[in-house]
Amino acid sequence: MGAGTETFYDVIRRQGITRRSFHKFCSLTATSLGLGPLAATNIANALETKPRVPVIWMHGLECTCCSESFIRSAHPLVKDAVLSMISLDYDDTIMAAAGHQAEAILEETRAKYKGQYILAVEGNPPLNEDGMYCIDGGKPFVEKLKLMADDAMAVIAWGACASWGCVQAAKPNPTQAVPIDKVITNKPIIKVPGCPPIAEVMTGVVTFVTTFGKLPELDRQGRPKMFYSQRIHDKCYRRPHFDAGQFVEEWDDDAARKGYCLYKMGCKGPTTYNACSTVRWNGGVSFPIQSGHGCIGCSEDGFWDQGGFYDRLTTIKQFGVEANADKIGQTAAVVVGGAIVAHAGVTVVRNMARRSKENSTDNSRSNGKSAG
């Protein structure tokens, strides 16, 4: 846990990583962020010249699944990259320091890097009984959270807990757990929902913020557009079966074996904004639907209170349209008049085409015209 004055490049060179590998890493990162080849140069430049950004990673009411996901990121490789890219000054789960020594780091970072460090929050604060349901280092977590947020440059809300509340805020919510944007109101917050979020999405967000020194473009709900602009349904490989009305009717029926659409088995893909169907999990190996189970909608607000995981979606009308008024892939507003209608068509085409174009710039070299 070093000071934040060395650059990422200094650190990896010291670890014996070659310059060639470094540049390879930069282009991989650019690709995973959906940026063009020129961005790789910018990333390399930033990582060579900018001092590492100090990161304070705090844990409230949570299950540590975000940390578990994060440390399994396949690319950028966490081992070599992210833990070197940032200066992870405080993370009570994976740091060596403990007790008073650990608490001192918080104070030190706050004083030394005022307005320069990133506060990453996993979990959320409970407000009932003055916050006594989550005591951290002898103080209510909510107080420490507010204190650390005051001097942070930006705040990252990891996972459904910090973003929306998740299971600890599910009805009847006895501890009055709230998402962090209810207590941090003076700082920009990047919400990275999911239970847990996809590892590559997490490292992608960290990479973006640390290399470009600014927040990625966010939607109206505060999520990075580069990863949360499309629904699972939009890019699902089982989508042709949905279109053709071919559904799994019962677990392990013939249709299930054929890999038909899981909508009738409660799949929440049509209402869930996440990158699972494109980025996938475990280094791109698979994702829930590919393993034969519907999406449970874990990155959506209040997913624990949206009915059972196996209940068929019946309220798409309200859910899909109202809950996601700001979409870039598909327009959400109800299309009524002629001019608006035409605009919706043009918008959807432009956004989709542009996205593909950016991705294909990088893929084309290795994969030719067609990927997959």
Interface ranges with other proteins (CB under 8 A): 37-38, 41-42, 45, 233-247, 259, 263, 270, 312-317, 320-321, 330-336, 338, 341-346, 348-350, 352-354, 356-357, 359-361, 369-372
Contacts of 96 by beta carbon, 8 Å cutoff, 6+ apart: 1
Minimum distance from CB of 255 to other proteins (Å)? 11
Q: Report how far residue 288's alpha carbon sits from residue 275's, in angstroms, rounded to the nearest whole number.
A: 12
**Torsion angle, alpha carbons of 259, 265, 270, 273, to 10:** -90
Q: How far is the CB of 267 from other proteins (least distance, A)?
A: 11
Tokens for 183?
A: 């207590």
What is the distance between the alpha carbons of residues 86 and 97, in angstroms, rounded to a whole number?
18
- Cβ-in-10-Å burial (0-12, 13-18, 19+) of 243 comes to exposed
Task: Quote the least distance from Cβ 45 to other proteins, whole Å.
Answer: 6
Q: Which CB atom, from 141 or from 247, has the smaller least distance to other proteins?
A: 247
Cβ-based nearer residue to other proteins, 94 or 335: 335
Farthest-apart Cα atoms in the chain, separation? 65
CB of 75 to other proteins, least distance (A): 20
Q: What distance in Å separates the CA atoms of residue 265 and residue 110, rounded to the nearest whole number?
A: 49
CB nearer other proteins, residue 129 or residue 253: 253
Cα 330 vs. chain centroid, distance in angstroms?
Answer: 20
- Min CB(316)–other proteins separation in Å: 5
Residues contacting residue 59 through CB under 8 Å, at least 6 positions apart: 67, 92, 93, 122, 123, 136
Smallest distance from the beta carbon of 346 to other proteins, in angstroms? Answer: 5
User: Which residues have CB under 8 Å from 29's CB, separation 6+?
Assistant: 40, 43, 75, 76, 81, 204, 207, 211
Q: Which residue has the tokens 């844990």?
A: 59
- Two tokens at 114? 């005022």
| Shortest distance in whole angstroms from residue 207 CB to other proteins | 17
User: Nearest to residue 46, comparing CAs of 71, 34, 29?
Assistant: 29
Q: Which of 321, 330, 277 is nearest to 299 (CA)?
A: 277
Q: How far is CA 68 from CA 16, 122, 159, 196, 264, in A?
A: 26, 11, 12, 8, 31
Measured from the CB of residue 261, what is the shortest distance to other proteins in angstroms?
Answer: 10
Other C-beta atoms closer than 10 Å to the C-beta of 72 total: 15
Could you give the dihedral angle defined by the CA atoms of residues 133, 134, 139 and 140, in that order, rounded to the nearest 10 degrees? -70
Tell the smallest beta-carbon distance from residue 293 to other proteins (Å).
16
What's the half-sphere exposure (Cβ side, CA atoms, 13 Å) at 167? Answer: 8
**In the bound complex, what is the minimum distance in angstroms from residue 4's beta carbon to other proteins?**
21
